[in-house]
Amino acid sequence: DIQMTQSPSTLSASVGDRVTITCRASQSISSWLAWYQQKPGKAPKLLIYKASSLESGVPSRFSGSGSGTEFTLTISSLQPDDFATYYCQQYNSYPLFTFGPGTKVDIK
Amino acid sequence: EVQLVESGGGLVQPGGSLRLSCAASGFTFSSYEMNWVRQAPGKGLEWVSYISSSGSTIYYADSVKGRFTISRDNAKNSLYLQMNSLRAEDTAVYYCARAVAGIGTDYWGQGTLVTVSS
């Protein structure tokens, strides 16, 4: 089974900061990685798919990169609406999915 | 507009059963693969089960295999999850989510809470 890890688990940042979250896979998953944003009490929202493709309607301050086993989600200038928990998801073994443990972005 | 609306959650005793439903609208349900994903209180996301568009291919996470059954009724635009032999560790919000090869899970419902407790 493919295991996913994320770092950091919690990130404190200020509005306007550049934020980077890292996701690692236990084996190569090519570019079959997605990123989701989840706010308290809400369903996850797809931000990025295939490692770097921006989902329609998602602000361009979000970007993704990486391939193989290491991936990053970058928010170029953190906005008040971006304080949330972010999850990566591998689908190299589609239709079997594995999620990372999440990274909470909170206010410094 | 794509909409997924889950229902059927509630409080159930350990060892009991519950059937979740997910009503889909705004897209051709019969053309899409679907999943159930759960989230225990304060925890991360856990994939539970997958069903192909026709219903002919099904997968389960090891944690629910033999206890949960996924199914769909394309005529009713509905997805189901029959949960038997429920345990305390099955307590979670259960989401239905549309799956697309090459993308992942692009639309999610709002979730339904299942609480397993005596």
pLDDT (tens digit, 9 = 90+) per residue, B45-69?
999 999 999 999 999 999 999 999 9
Place A98 in a pLDDT band, splitting at 50, 70 and 90: very high
What pLDDT was estimated at residue A95? 86
Nearest by CB to residue A101, choosing from B44, B50, B59, is B44
Chosen from B34, B39, B105, B112 to mutate, greatest number of chain A CBs within 10 A: B105
**A108 has a pLDDT exceeding 90:** no
Q: With CA atoms as reference, report the closest residue to B111 among A44, A61, A28.
A: A44
For residue A42, the chain B residues in CB contact (below 8 A) are 110
**A10 has a pLDDT exceeding 90:** yes
Residues B65/B100/B110/A49 CA torsion (nearest 10 deg): 110
Q: Collapsing DSSP states into helix, strand and coil, what is residue A54?
A: strand
Average of per-residue pLDDT values in chain A: 96
Q: Collapsing DSSP states into helix, strand and coil, what is residue A96?
A: coil
Tokens of A27: 């084996």
Average pLDDT over residues A75-79: 96
What pLDDT was estimated at residue B115? 98
What pLDDT was estimated at residue A94? 86
d(CA B42, CA A92): 27
Cβ of B105 and A46 within 8 Å?
A: yes
For residue B22, the chain A residues in CB contact (below 8 A) are none
What pLDDT was estimated at residue A29? 96
**A73 has a pLDDT exceeding 90:** yes
Cβ neighbors of B81 (< 8 A, separation 6 or more) are: B19, B20, B22, B36, B48, B49, B68, B69, B70, B94
Average of per-residue pLDDT values in chain B: 97
DSSP secondary structure letter of residue B47:
E
Put simply, whether A13 touches B (Cβ < 8 Å) is no
**A77 has a pLDDT exceeding 90:** yes
For residue B101, the chain A residues in CB contact (below 8 A) are 94-95
Cβ of A34 and B105 within 8 Å?
A: yes
Residues A64/A67/A69/A72 CA torsion (nearest 10 deg): -20
d(CA B81, CA A7): 33
d(CA B15, CA B39): 20
Beta bridge partners of B73: B78
Q: Please give the helix or strand (H or E) that residue B65 lies within, else none.
A: none
**A93 has a pLDDT exceeding 90:** no
